[in-house]
Amino acid sequence: MGHVVITGGASGIGESVALRLARSGHRVTILDRLLPEAATWWASLPAENRGLWFSLDVRDSSSVHRAVRDSWGVEPLDGLVTSAGVVTRGALLTETPEEFSEGLEMNITGTLNPIRSVIELWVSEGRPGSVVTMTSTAGLGYVAGLSAGYHAAKSAIVGITRSVAGDYARHGIRINAVAPGVVRTAMSLSQVAHQGEGSLAARAPAGRLAEPDEVSAVAEWLLSPSSRLTTGHVIPVDGGQSAVVGAPPAGYPLPAHDTRGTHAFGFSRSEKAVVS
Amino acid sequence: MNHVLVTGGASGIGAATVQALMASGAKVSVIDRSEPTNWWEQGPPEFRGTWVVADATERKVFRDAVTSVTADGVTGLVASAGISLKESFLASTDTAWDDTLMVNVMGSVIAAQESARAMRDHDTGGAIVFVASTVAFGAVAGLGSHYHASKGALVALTHSLASELAPLGIRVNAVAPGLVKTPLTEFMRSNAGEEALTARVPLRVMADPEDVASAIQFLLSTSASMVTGQILPIDAGQLAVVGQPIGGFPDIVTPMAIPDYA
């Protein structure tokens, strides 16, 4: 069992990561701009899985730093998942300079701040750990409908992941990025409402949107010792979208089998549950 | 119950994968050029499928083996049969190219084709994992050019099959191991020494076959239900590095000739 800090854990992918890790027996601590009352599930988590909740702005390095130190006081940290972020839709000419700057601050600085604070403690305490960052298919290539600032920020997260992986590997610290495609979260619902689910789903061979838990399953694997030889890498969780250079003109047909249900190899409990 | 075919399951990554899958409660079958091993004979009977001896250099025999093993259905394929021949490019022979491409590429193609046909015919969907390598993304000194070319082909095959087989509910991914303690890398470990080899990678360790097996298990599992067409490095950070490895490159034994175009 481990103690994992999750930024942006009140909703969306972060919420899903928190719930999945808590179910596996970990203690989760949340850093989010929202209050814990915004997440109805938080109060019902078993006490041993409930760490602390800090309502803060991830752009503010000193409050992030204090939060990380305080959560370490509850139990030393084993993992960090940086899923706080904002999305700006549109394109170069519709994204204002203010939106561009705020997006970079939220997504880049807001990712770097918790990583810096957590790794500082891991290095000084001589403790290994695993970080999972959230990039996007927009960090790997062009995704229609998302702004230049969002593409820039998510590409930057790939760079941060590689740089930190190289520098801190000698301390037993791993860091990898997850690159989700279109995930069924509140953040993507406006896009779904605008474009219709069908056209978004047809972007990927899998022919459907990802559920948040399919992203957190990959994050959980990256936190676990089963991935102890994987660092500095980006794992797309996108139904094959980034493996495609040219999609069929009419998009992909719906698969005959839902990959969530067939060939259900589980992890053994020990592999799934232990962090770092 | 899940039924997984592992080619090259007698040793190295394949053997570790067979054992990990059996431990997780899947029925496993093996195709290998070697006879069944002791650990196989002593393995849990309820998870032991069939073991067929076939060499991927014999195309017809190998295809028949895959067809017979998958006849009653298969939900997973791990194509880990592979060879590495240590010739320099200038000295490489047609035979070495034929054998390497035959085993590493065509062996994976045949195993994937017959397995995917079985998944379609039994209407089960499934997951396929190829064993690529870090050599598909850059030069690794000491491994032959034919080995590099064959692993590069598996990356392209992963992309293509992920797209083509998605409508059948079949996911296709690959792992890209760096240096793993297997018989295939024994010559490098004894020649260069493990210290020189681990100096290439940020985490400063060589992978055990079990590390690759756990990644393969992850890609087969429903935890990876939205992951297809991807290459997962198990490389201790090797591929995240561009340029000089920690500790520097070793001295060049034979200085490169500088062509004189004057």
User: Which residue in chain A has the smallest CA separation from B245?
Assistant: A166
pLDDT band at residue A252, thresholds of 50, 70 and 90? confident
Q: Judge contact between B150 and B83, C-beta under 8 A.
A: no
pLDDT tens track for A96-127: 999 999 999 999 999 999 999 999 999 999 99
Task: Chain A: give the shortest CA distance to residue B2, in Å.
Answer: 6
pLDDT band at residue A256, thresholds of 50, 70 and 90? confident
pLDDT tens track for B156-211: 999 999 999 999 999 999 999 998 998 878 887 888 888 878 877 888 888 999 99
Find the CB nearest B228 among A205, A230, A253: A205
Give the least confident one: A8-22, A45-59, A209-223, A235-249: A235-249
- The average pLDDT across A236-256 equals 80
Q: With an 8 Å Cβ cutoff, are B76 and A265 in contact?
A: yes
Mean of the per-residue pLDDT values of chain A: 90
Find the CB nearest B237 among A169, A210, A237: A169
How far, in Å, CA of A208 to CA of A260, rounded? 11
Query: How much of chain A, in percent, has pLDDT values that exceed 90?
Result: 73
Residue A261: list chain B partners with CB under 8 A: 222
Distance of CA A17 to the CA centre of its chain: 8
Find the CB nearest A217 among B23, B201, B223: B223
Residue A161: list chain B partners with CB under 8 A: 240
pLDDT tens track for A131-175: 999 999 999 998 888 899 999 999 999 999 999 998 899 899 999
Report the pLDDT value the prediction gives residue B248, as an integer from 0 to 100: 55
Report the pLDDT value the prediction gives residue A276, as an integer from 0 to 100: 39
Active-site annotation holds for A150: yes
pLDDT tens track for B201-214: 888 888 999 999 99
- The average pLDDT across A225-251 equals 87
How far, in Å, CA of A88 to CA of A95, rounded? 8
Q: Which two tokens stand for residue A111?
A: 């990712």
pLDDT band at residue A78, thresholds of 50, 70 and 90? very high
Please identify which residue in the block is written with the tokens 């509910």. Answer: B169
Higher pLDDT, B86 or B152: B152
pLDDT of A66 over the 70 cut: yes
Higher pLDDT, A262 or A213: A213
Report the pLDDT value the prediction gives residue B222, as an integer from 0 to 100: 93
Answer whether A43 touches B (CB < 8 Å). Answer: no
Report the pLDDT value the prediction gives residue A35, as an integer from 0 to 100: 97
Answer whether A35 touches B (CB < 8 Å). Answer: no
- The average pLDDT across B29-43 equals 97
Residue A254: list chain B partners with CB under 8 A: 167
Q: With an 8 Å Cβ cutoff, are A236 and B230 in contact?
A: yes
How far, in Å, CA of B231 to CA of B155, rounded? 7
Residue B237: list chain A partners with CB under 8 A: 165-166, 169, 231-232
Choose the mutation target among B179, B225, B234, B246 for the interface with A, i.e. most A CBs under 10 Å.
Answer: B225
Find the CB nearest A210 among B159, B226, B233: B226
Choose the mutation target among A162, A229, A237 for the interface with B, i.e. most B CBs under 10 Å.
Answer: A229
Answer whether A249 touches B (CB < 8 Å). Answer: no
pTM, two decimal places: 0.87
Q: Which entry of B22, B147, B154, B180 is annotated as an active-site residue? A: B147
How far, in Å, CA of A49 to CA of B186, rounded? 45
| ipTM of predicted assembly, 2 dp | 0.81
Report the pLDDT value the prediction gives residue A268, as an integer from 0 to 100: 39
Q: With an 8 Å Cβ cutoff, are B221 and A206 in contact?
A: no
pLDDT of A129 over the 80 cut: yes
User: Which residue in chain B has the smallest CA separation from A232?
Assistant: B240
Q: Which two tokens stand for residue A5?
A: 């800090």
Report the pLDDT value the prediction gives residue A264, as an integer from 0 to 100: 52
pLDDT of A208 over the 60 cut: yes
pLDDT of A212 over the 90 cut: yes
Q: Which entry of A142, A150, A168, A252 is annotated as an active-site residue? A: A150
**E strand or H helix at A170:** none
Report the pLDDT value the prediction gives residue A271, as an integer from 0 to 100: 42
Residues B199, B201, B205, B206, CA torsion sign: negative
Q: Where are the alpha helices (DSSP H) in B122-179?
A: 145-165
Report the pLDDT value the prediction gives residue A103, as an integer from 0 to 100: 96
pLDDT of B246 over the 90 cut: no
Residue B225: list chain A partners with CB under 8 A: 214, 217, 258-260
DSSP B74: -
pLDDT band at residue A4, thresholds of 50, 70 and 90? very high
pLDDT tens track for B4-35: 999 999 999 999 999 999 999 999 999 999 99
pLDDT band at residue A275, thresholds of 50, 70 and 90? very low
- The average pLDDT across A221-228 equals 95
Residue A20: list chain B partners with CB under 8 A: none
